[in-house]
Structure 1
Amino acid sequence: MTWRPGPRGLRGRLLAAFVLVTVLGAAAAAWSSAGSASAALVTSAQQRHTETVVGQITPIAPQLTYPPDQGALDRLRAAVGANSLVVYQDLRSADGAGAELITDELRTAVRTRNRLVTQRITARDRPWLLVGTPVVITAPDGTRTPSGVEVYSARDLTGVDQEIDDLVRHSVITAALAVPLAVLLALLAARSVLRPVRELRDTARRLADGDLDARTPPQGADELAELTATINEMAESVQTSMAAMRRMQADARRFAADVSHELRTPLSTLTAVVEVLATTADGMEDDARESAQLAITETRRLVRLVEDLMEVSRFDAGTAQLRVEEVDLVGAVRDCLRARGWLDRVELDAPAEVVLRLDRRRLDVIVANLVGNALRHGEPPVRVRISASDEQVRIEVTDRGPGLPEDLLPHVFDRFFKADAARARTPGSGLGLAIARENARLHGGDLTAGNAEGGGARFVLRLPRDQEDL
Structure 2
Amino acid sequence: MPVRRLLRLVRRYWRVLVRGARRTAAPARRAWRRSLQARVITITLVASSLLVGGFGWFVADRSAKILLNRAQDEVEAQMRTKVDYAYHQLTVHRQVFDPKLPSTMRATVDHLADGNPAENGGAIVTLRAAEYPDLKPVSSTNFDTSQLITPELVKAVAGRGGEYQQIRTAEIAGVQTKFLVSGSPVPTSFGHVELYYLVPLTTEDRAANQIRTTVLVTGLTLVLLLGIVALLVTRLVVTPVRDAARTAQRLSAGLLDQRMKVSGEDELALLAASFNQMAANLQRQIVRLEEMSRLQRRFTSDVSHELRTPLTTVRMAADLIFTERDEFDPAVARSAELLQAELDRFESLLTDLLEISRFDAGFAALDAEHTDLVPIVQRVTERLTGLAERVGVTIELRLPDTPVIAEVDPRRVERILRNLVGNAAEHGEGKPVEVTLACDDAAVAVTVRDHGVGLKSGEERLVFNRFWRADPSRARQTGGTGLGLSISVEDARLHGGWLEAWGSPGAGAQFRLTLPVRSGDRLVAAPLPLIPRDRDPLLAGPTAAPEAGAEAPAPAPEDRAAAPAPALAARETAVPVAEAAGTPAPGASGTVAADPAEVIG
Q: Which amino acid aligns with 2:456?
A: P
Determine whether 1:404 maps to 2:455: yes
Determine whether 1:226 maps to 2:271: yes
Q: Which amino acid aligns with 1:245?
A: E
Q: Which amino acid aligns with 2:283?
A: V
Distance in 2, matches of 1:389 and 1:55, equals 99
* Cα offsets for 1:214-259 (capped at 9, x unmatched): 8977862523323323323432342243144224413422431332
| Larger helix proportion of the pair | 1
Task: Write out aligned runs for 1:138-149 (5 A).
Answer: none
Q: Which amino acid aligns with 2:492?
A: A
Cα 1:221–1:306 change in 2 (3 A) is: same
Cα 1:40–1:460 change in 2 (3 A) is: farther
For 2:350, what is the secondary structure of its paired residue?
helix
Distance in 1, matches of 2:441 and 2:166, equals 76
* Displacement after TM superposition at 1:345 (Å): 1.6
Task: Write out aligned runs for 1:77-88 (5 A).
Answer: 83-87=147-151
* Displacement after TM superposition at 1:347 (Å): 3.1
For 1:398, what is the secondary structure of its paired residue?
strand
Determine whether 1:340 maps to 2:392: no
Determine whether 1:459 maps to 2:481: no
Give the equivalent residue in structure 2 for 1:425: 477
* Displacement after TM superposition at 1:55 (Å): 8.5
* CA RMSD after TM alignment: 6.2
Mean CA deviation greater in 378-387 or 127-136: 127-136
Determine whether 1:260 maps to 2:337: no
Give the equivalent residue in structure 2 for 1:171: 218
Give the equivalent residue in structure 1 for 2:30: none
Contact 1:383–1:399 (Cα < 8 Å) also in 2: no
Cα 1:266–1:232 change in 2 (3 A) is: same
Unaligned runs of 5+ in 1: 1-12, 93-114, 137-151
Unaligned runs of 5+ in 2: 1-34, 91-126, 156-163, 186-197, 389-393, 522-579, 582-601
Give the equivalent residue in structure 1 for 2:10: none
Q: Which amino acid aligns with 1:226?
A: L
For 1:229, what is the secondary structure of its paired residue?
helix
Give the equivalent residue in structure 1 for 2:419: 369
* Displacement after TM superposition at 1:66 (Å): 10
Distance in 1, matches of 2:70 and 2:354, equals 101
Q: Return the match for 1:313 from 351, 357, 370.
A: 357
* Displacement after TM superposition at 1:451 (Å): 1.8
Distance in 2, matches of 1:73 and 1:56, equals 24
Cα 1:189–1:291 change in 2 (3 A) is: closer
The TM-score with structure 2 as length reference comes to 0.50
For 1:459, what is the secondary structure of its paired residue?
strand
Give the equivalent residue in structure 2 for 1:186: 232
* Cα offsets for 1:24-75 (capped at 9, x unmatched): 6765564344322232244446656777898899997x99999845467957
Task: Write out aligned runs for 1:51-450 (5 A).
Answer: 68-70=131-133, 74=137, 83-87=147-151, 159=206, 162-163=209-210, 166-168=213-215, 170-171=217-218, 174-175=221-222, 178=225, 182=229, 186=232, 220=265, 222-263=267-308, 266-267=311-312, 270=315, 274=319, 293-315=337-359, 317-328=360-371, 330-331=373-374, 334=377, 337-338=380-381, 340=383, 345-348=395-398, 358-378=408-428, 379-384=431-436, 386=438, 395-406=446-457, 408-420=459-471, 421-422=473-474, 424-450=476-502
Mean CA deviation greater in 431-440 or 457-466: 457-466
Contact 1:336–1:367 (Cα < 8 Å) also in 2: no
* Cα offsets for 1:358-413 (capped at 9, x unmatched): 544333222221221112212324243546686x7654432222311236444323
For 1:346, what is the secondary structure of its paired residue?
strand
* Displacement after TM superposition at 1:82 (Å): 6.9
Q: Which amino acid aligns with 2:395?
A: R
Q: Which amino acid aligns with 1:255?
A: T
Cα 1:398–1:452 change in 2 (3 A) is: farther
* Cα offsets for 1:329-359 (capped at 9, x unmatched): 7447535535535698233366967766554
* Displacement after TM superposition at 1:119 (Å): 9.7
Distance in 1, matches of 2:490 and 2:170, equals 81
For 2:150, what is the secondary structure of its paired residue?
strand
Q: What percentage of aligned pairs have identical amino acids? A: 20
For 1:457, what is the secondary structure of its paired residue?
strand
The TM-score with structure 1 as length reference comes to 0.61
Distance in 1, matches of 2:67 and 2:519, equals 76
Cα 1:272–1:182 change in 2 (3 A) is: same
Mean CA deviation greater in 188-197 or 297-306: 188-197
Distance in 2, matches of 1:49 and 1:332, equals 107
Q: Which amino acid aligns with 1:40?
A: R
Cα 1:328–1:54 change in 2 (3 A) is: farther
Contact 1:23–1:175 (Cα < 8 Å) also in 2: no
Q: Which amino acid aligns with 2:489?
A: R
Distance in 2, matches of 1:307 and 1:195, equals 51
Give the equivalent residue in structure 2 for 1:141: none
Cα 1:38–1:218 change in 2 (3 A) is: closer
Q: Which amino acid aligns with 1:228?
A: A
* Displacement after TM superposition at 1:435 (Å): 2.5
